[in-house]
Structure 1
Amino acid sequence: MKTLVGSLLIGTCLGCIALSAAIPAFAQEDLSKYPTRPIHIVVGFTPGGGNDILARIAGQKLSESLGQPVIIDNKPGGGAIVATEYVAKAAPDGYTLLVGASGAMAINPAVYAKLPYDSIRDFVPVSELGSFPLILIVNASSPIKSVADLVAYAKANPDKANYSSSSGAFQLVTELFKQKTGAPMQEIPYKGANDSVMAVISGQVTATIADAGPVSGQVQGGQVRALAVTAPKRTGDLPDVPTMKEAGADVDAVLWSGIFAPRNTPAAIVKKLESELMRIARLPDVIARLKPLGIESVGNSSDEFARILASDIARWTAVAKAGNIRMEP
């Protein structure tokens, strides 16, 4: 009998040990003390770009307020697919986060038939860090001086009118412009935003739509002519450039970037990060550091960011379908 009881007790203890080992370490932590170790923010692009800068600014401020190091991990590749998949499969403990741009989170689901992640199912949107207004430009010496001129030129020269594009995001925004205006333009792909802008300056393409960062300097320097901004309001750096709607085109498109956590991250952790990121976005020095890059500091709530994500996926999926745009990973 003693042997039987002893065996049962041993078996029970072993079962408890096995069960304890199966419980994720973060589930045993006191969530009110989060974070207790370094946080990693994964960026799907090389250092120096807009998303990387956003991550480093937010990371620095988070480290100061939370009292733990925040490490930026750059994992470029596949239009941010590599980094996004990595975070989707990470432990949902608040220690691995993603800087997710609208290209990876809203555009990729619209243009790829198959992705190794689901932007809605695999992530919790925490807070949008910043938005990127886009600018439609042509060469400064071009006879095209307005959106109406560009549409008229494209319709009169369907075999010559083209545009440069450095990613699926810019391609879909331009496709939206084409669908709204009826302007036929052929896409010419380039590796990066700067290359796309240089193609306009060198006269290789008719026009391009790019974010304000690599464009504003060339506009102010007289190398390119800005026809319109795609944002719902004019930008502070280019107050004389009309919005698309003011220019007669029903196009309203802004790209964004924000912090995402793996699905099933505890609500208390998401709430803490959300609160911190909303506070950080309103800091005067953060706003001042982002302004020269053409980035508007946002800092919205998790719920609001989730609504924006879902709305953008639906919108860009419709645009891609109408333009018959599909890509392969």
Structure 2
Amino acid sequence: MSRYGLRTAVFAAIHVAVGALLATAAGAQDYPSKPVTLIVPWPAGGSTDISMRAIADSASKVLGQPIVIDNKAGGGGTVGPATMAAAAKPDGYTISQIPITVFRLPLMQEVSWDPAKDFTYIIHLTGYTFGVTTNADSQFKSWKDVVEFAKANPGKVTYATPGTGTSLHIGMEQIAAMSGIKLTQVPFKGGAETNAAVLGQHTMLQADSTGWRPLVDAGKLKLLMVWTAARSPNYPDVPTLKELGYPMVYDSPFGIAGPKGMDPKIVAKLHDAFKKAVEDPAVIATLAKYDMVPNYKNTEDYRKFVVEVTESERKVIDTLGLAKK
């Protein structure tokens, strides 16, 4: 190549690089200039879907663009985040709710994502109230009844969960191990399906978040226990795990992330919008309907939380013998 040709090529490369940097800067400056897609990895109509829609609606008013909910259920809440990690551009226009299953399932089986490398963590939002319900016509009037029946009939007690590897699945297996009983999990995609399973007596129990609340309030389901640190103010007669002799609290907190490589300025805009959303009285009221409360962590603290919770989950999975071989 001649000296002139080489110089031309160098100038062209510099021009392309500078152009790309300017485009990136402009993109962050103008963000968002179109609707943002928020993946909810659970079916429509469940407690997570309803709460995330309320949060998204409030955050959209801060961003000045609609936030469109895309329900991608399956895999205990991992299909949506995995799809985003594999295919979405890191431009801030596709983000996802991130359940703890995203950190836990890679410890149990081979998956397509690495929670430490494939996501840009934005903000930690809230957590769940979990509980175990049974059909109102069930023979079980208390958790003690379940344990006694399970001891006499190993493996016969079935329970519905929103998926293998979810906090509900792991929590129930911990409870079973501590009780010296064997339970049989029946995994579904989300709360609407687990509700239907226990209502139709296709399973004997349901372990899920408070999507069951309307059915409990209507007298169609009976709440046997809650997994919170203290009794629910909505169900003051229902015991906690600790009161039943299990030294456990499960609230499975969650947040929002995007694909890896997002511009920090875009992350900051999303963080600020969703922070204002979880401070919105209307959002707090919606969360309260499902016994959920804001549990805010900023971007840096959320990253630290991911590391901490992954290690704590590793210990639980190892203890239960569920670690991948």
- TM bin, normalised by shorter chain, reads 0.7 to 0.9
Report the equivalent of 1:314: 311
CA distance in 2, matches of 1:142, 1:238: 19
Match of 1:153, as an amino acid? F
Q: 1:1-329 counterparts in 2 under 5 A?
A: 6-20=4-18, 23=20, 27-29=24-26, 31=28, 34-89=31-86, 90-103=88-101, 105-111=102-108, 113-168=109-164, 169=166, 170-190=168-188, 192-213=190-211, 215-325=212-322
Q: Deviations over 1:149-176 (max 9, x none)?
A: 4323322332533323331212212112
**Cα pair 2:107 2:314 within 8 Å, conserved:** yes
Q: How far apart, in 2, do the equivalents of 1:88 and 1:159 lie?
A: 37
Return the offset for 1:266: 2.9
Q: Distance in 1 between matches of 2:188 and 2:290?
A: 21
Counterpart of 1:50 in structure 2: which amino acid? S
Percent of pairs identical after alignment? 26
- The aligned length equals 321
Query: What is the distance in 2 between the residues matched to 1:85 and 1:310?
Result: 18
Distance 1:11 1:217, change over 3 A: closer
Q: Following the alignment from structure 1 to structure 2, what is the Cα–Cα distance between the partners of residues 20 and 127?
A: 31
CA offsets, 1:219-258, max 9 Å, x none? 2233332221012222232222121112222221113332
Measure how far apart 1:286 and its partner are.
0.7
Work out whether residues 56 and 277 of structure 2, in 8 Å CA contact, stay in contact via their aligned partners in 1. no
**What SS does structure 1 have at the residue aligned with 2:233?**
coil
User: Contact 1:176 / 1:251 at 8 angstroms: preserved in 2?
Assistant: no
Segment of structure 1 superposing worse, 239-248 or 311-320: 311-320
* Farther-moved stretch of structure 1 (29-38 vs 125-134): 29-38
Q: Match of 1:138, as an amino acid?
A: T
Write the distance in 1 (CA, Å) between the matches of 2:190 and 2:91. 34
- What letter is aligned with 2:83? Y
User: Given residue 176 of structure 1, which amino acid in structure 2 is its aligned partner?
Assistant: Q
Q: In 2, distance between residues paired with 1:182 and 1:26?
A: 61
- The 1:296/1:175 distance shift into structure 2, 3 A limit, reads same
1:52 is displaced (CA, Å) by 3.3
Shift of 1:42: 2.6
What TM-score comes out, normalization by structure 1 length?
Answer: 0.83
**Deviations 1:78-124 (CA, angstroms, capped at 9, x unpaired):** 55444323322433333321122223x2332233x221111122113
Letter in 1 for 2:220: Q
The answer on whether the counterparts of 2:216 and 2:222 sit within 8 Å (CA) in structure 1 is: yes
Instruction: Give the distance between the partners of 1:305 and 1:37, measured in 2 at CA.
Output: 26
AA partner of residue 58 (structure 1): I
The 1:273–1:10 alpha-carbon spacing in structure 2 relative to 1, beyond 3 Å, is same
